[in-house]
Amino acid sequence: MINRYFRVNRRDMVYLKFILEAYEGMNVMSTVDNAAGIIRIVIMPGFEDDMDALLAELGRQVTLEPAEWNEEVVF
């Protein structure tokens, strides 16, 4: 699985979640920092090209800036 992080306008989070959930099985979106507008999109293996195309199109509609996020493993 591939984790990608983006900074989005908080007002667009629900819209993005709604659209991405329609592509069930391809990805999972979650909010990692609501105040900063950081989301994580986990892309399932084999869907990288499809998700790249979808994210490019969504990037034309809403602010979708790649972001850095330090993942910490929690046990």
DSSP string, 3-40: EEEEEE-GGGHHHHHHHHHTTTTTEEEEEEETTTTEEE
Structure pTM? 0.87
Tens of pLDDT, residue by residue over 8-19, are 999 999 999 999
pLDDT average, residue stretch 1-30 = 95
Mean per-residue pLDDT of the chain = 92
Residue 66 near residue 4 (C-beta atoms within 8 A): yes
- Position 74 pLDDT exceeds 70: no
First to last CA, the chain: 19
Q: Where are the domains of the chain?
A: 1-7+14-33+47-70
Quick one: which of 72, 67, 48, 51 has its CA closest to 7?
A: 67
What band does 73 get if pLDDT is binned at 50, 70 and 90?
A: very low
